[in-house]
Structure 1
Amino acid sequence: MEHLVRVLDERDRRTLAWLREHVGDAELSRAVMKCGTTTKPYLSAVCRQLGIAVPQLGAARRRQSTASAQQSLAAIRGMLKPPGSGQTSLVR
């Protein structure tokens, strides 16, 4: 299907795979033709044609701090602390 639409990056590849799974190749091809462009349409245009919002397929990000993240931050703060002083660094 990449020969029908613009696939610029990995996110586009995941979006195209999702569309193929949920809509099917035939419906996807019809939507591409309805876009009415002489060049490959962007996936966002195809999704609009289908009446589908572009899915958010990125990897879920952790929002909570982990122990290893806290240790790394403490190490960085130690490196940024002025040498030989008991003062705290200006960088937090």
Structure 2
Amino acid sequence: MDELIRIENEYDRQTVAWLHERLGEQALNEVVLRMHGRGRPYASEVCRTLGLTPPPRKRTTHARPLNRAVGEAYLATIRAILGRSHMAA
């Protein structure tokens, strides 16, 4: 399906899977082929053409924990620099 519908992110992939489940492969292919002339359509364009509202975004359950150490180190350096320039003035 990647060769017929433009898939740029995980939500696009989820939307195409939803369309595939809802319409079936043959019907989805026919709709996309009827939309020719516009290049590969986005999944949202296919939904609009069919008058469908795409499903809401699914939240990922295995999000990586954020590592804030590098950002905190940069902020500490910035604060130190700003503190020195404030003291000098």
Range class of TM-score, shorter chain = 0.5 to 0.7
Spell out the pairing of 1:12-91 with structure 2 (5 A cutoff).
12-59=12-59
- What is the SS of the residue equivalent to 1:53? coil
Q: CA RMSD in A?
A: 1.7
Shift of 1:57: 3.0
Match of residue 86 from structure 2: none
Structure (1 or 2) with the greater helix fraction: 2
Whether the 8 Å CA contact 1:35–1:45 is kept in 2: the answer is no
**Unmatched tracts of structure 2, length 5 or more:** 61-89
1:48 match: secondary structure: helix
Quote how far apart the aligned CAs of 1:28 are.
0.7
- Tell me: higher relative CO, structure 1 or 2? Use CA pairs within 8 A at least 6 residues apart: 2
User: 1:49 and 1:15 mapped to 2: Cα distance?
Assistant: 14
Q: Give structure 1 regions of 4+ aligned residues with deviation exceeding 2 angstroms.
A: none
**Cα deviation 1:67-88 (Å, max 9, x = unaligned):** xxxxxxxxxxxxxxxxxxxxxx
Identity %: 38
Q: What is the TM-score when the length of structure 1 is the normalising length?
A: 0.57
Q: Is the 8 A contact 1:34 1:49 kept in 2?
A: no
8 A contact 1:6–1:42 mirrored in 2: yes
- 1:4 aligned residue: 4
Q: Is the 8 A contact 1:16 1:43 kept in 2?
A: yes
Structure 2 length normalisation: TM-score? 0.59
